[in-house]
Structure 1
Amino acid sequence: MMTAIVCLTGCGKTQTTLEYDEAMIEQETEFLINYCQNVDSDTLAQWNDQNEFSKEYQFMMSGLKFTPDSFDGAVDSWQAGIKECGEYVGHGDYTFEAKDDELTVSVPAQFEDRDATIEFVFDKDLYLESMTVSAKFSLGEIMEKAGLNTLLGMGTVFVVLIFISFLISLFKYIPAIQNAFGKKKDEKKEETKAAVSETVEEVDETDDLELIAVISAAIAAAEETTTDGFVVRSIKRRPSNKWNS
């Protein structure tokens, strides 16, 4: 049994760490820090105007294991750190932490307004993946930021609740608005009905006049006289159209 355990232990996966050259890594990080510290806006604009192939060619010729994306990201992170911590003053000793597929290099740095930690991350081929500048805040500053974030969050919630309450309070005016629109529709319907009735009456009067003229002509023809001798005062319609026997 002991022999089997020893054999199985020997067949297990061996944990290895990434091998690297500290001097080479420090040279690359120092180059990056010095470049970010001394580059001006014109040089940076010229660099950004270059294409990916030109950037990669310059890295290859200089022997630096950078990629255009990681290098540009490092420059942006440095500029953000300058805005937050002030101008760069110097840095301390490097600390290396290697894993099987990654190398992390960190160094404490001093800036005019506050201290920070610069961290470099390299992949398993020792190409730069990222560089970050993390400002160091005191406990009071951390508590102040936490308090401001809490107030901002709670304030936003209360503002939204007040707005929702205001909207709910307006619901009581909805029936009145609906009634007002309903009255307008009823008035329009009544006006339409009145106009139709007037039109029907005018049509009926026109029909009656024509009917009177026809009856007058028929009577005059039957009496062999003219229509001047009599006047039709009114015409009453029978309730049924059937002839009485």
Structure 2
Amino acid sequence: MAVFALAGCSGSDAGVEYDQATIEEATEFLIAYCSSADDTTIEQWNSLSDEQLEIQMAQSGYPFTGDSFLGSMDAWQAGVEECGEYIGHGDFTYDASQTELSLTTTAEFADRDANLEIIYKTDVRGNLHLDSLTVSGIYSMSEILSKAGMNTLLGMGTVFVVLIIISVIISLLKYIPKLQEAFSRKNTKAQAAEVSAAAAPEPVQTAVPEAAPEPEPEDVTDDGELVAVIAAAIAASEEVPADGFIVRSIRRRKSNKWM
């Protein structure tokens, strides 16, 4: 029983079963196709529906899925942008676990070398299918330090710029009460002007009366003979003695006619 138990444990640690020739052929096809595909080809693949894509993968005969195949082409294009044009790669190193198989190799590109990692995972039926492809550029120590220094500089510079902006904003906060007070005074004056304008009565236009014509001055003539004649005439008509009737004043009518 101990021997059988040890045999079972050793079998479980061996990892998934796979055909090396089949996996290597599928991986070589994947790398060759990704390195030759241009933007138009990738756009055509992306324009396919999920059903059409799965049909194409099934017809290829390789253990690919639609999502993993499209993701591998996108990852390859990103690696080309980082490392330059693809030239070739070395032998594969296989690393199998209980649920996945990893193939790694070093590839040569125009600008720099890169590490290729292709991972196959088992599905619910225990069959291996392509999961992902990764292209990682290999940088020298000086390039790594330069990139780290640049990232540090950018990070610290961003922090200091933000702190300066915050300090400037805080320094301007003291002017906010003054601005509020100025705006409140302005609004108060405007409201008071509106209230006074609404309360003020509208000017009433009154007709200016026309000036009455001045009366002509009376011409009073103190003529003794005329007075005596008039007094005598009145006394004769009234049968009153002339001594009993006294003429105080004589006024001339405007028509100059004696009534």
**Structure 1 43/180 Cα, relative in aligned 2: closer, same or farther at 3 Å?**
closer
The code of the aligned residue for 1:186 comes to T
Per the normalisation by structure 2, the TM-score is 0.69
In structure 1, how many angstroms separate the alpha carbons of the residues matched to 2:54 and 2:98? 26
- Aligned partner of 1:84 in structure 2 is 82
Structural mapping, 1:1-245, within 5 Å: 10=5, 14=9, 15-16=12-13, 17-124=15-122, 125-192=127-194, 194-195=196-197, 198-199=200-201
Alpha carbon RMSD of aligned pairs, Å? 2.6
In structure 2, how many angstroms separate the alpha carbons of the residues matched to 1:103 and 1:126? 8
Aligned residues: 196
Structure ranking higher in helix proportion: 1
The code of the aligned residue for 1:76 comes to D
- Aligned partner of 2:206 in structure 1 is none
Deviation readout 1:65-103 (Å, 9 max, x if unpaired): 101100000001111111111111111010000000111
**Structure 1 185/126 Cα, relative in aligned 2: closer, same or farther at 3 Å?**
same
Q: CA deviation at 1:170?
A: 1.0
In structure 2, how many angstroms separate the alpha carbons of the residues matched to 1:177 and 1:31? 72
**Structure 1 99/187 Cα, relative in aligned 2: closer, same or farther at 3 Å?**
same
Counting aligned pairs with the same residue, the percent is 48
In structure 2, how many angstroms separate the alpha carbons of the residues matched to 1:81 and 1:121? 17
In structure 1, how many angstroms separate the alpha carbons of the residues matched to 2:7 and 2:90? 40
Q: CA deviation at 1:22?
A: 0.8
Which secondary structure state, in structure 2, belongs to the residue aligned with residue 50 of structure 1?
coil
Which secondary structure state, in structure 2, belongs to the residue aligned with residue 113 of structure 1?
coil
Per the normalisation by structure 1, the TM-score is 0.72
Q: CA deviation at 1:169?
A: 1.3
Q: CA deviation at 1:193?
A: 5.2
Deviation readout 1:2-59 (Å, 9 max, x if unpaired): x9xx69x949983331111111110000001111122233333333332222222222
In structure 2, how many angstroms separate the alpha carbons of the residues matched to 1:55 and 1:13? 40
Larger Rg: 2
Gaps of 5+ in 2: 204-259
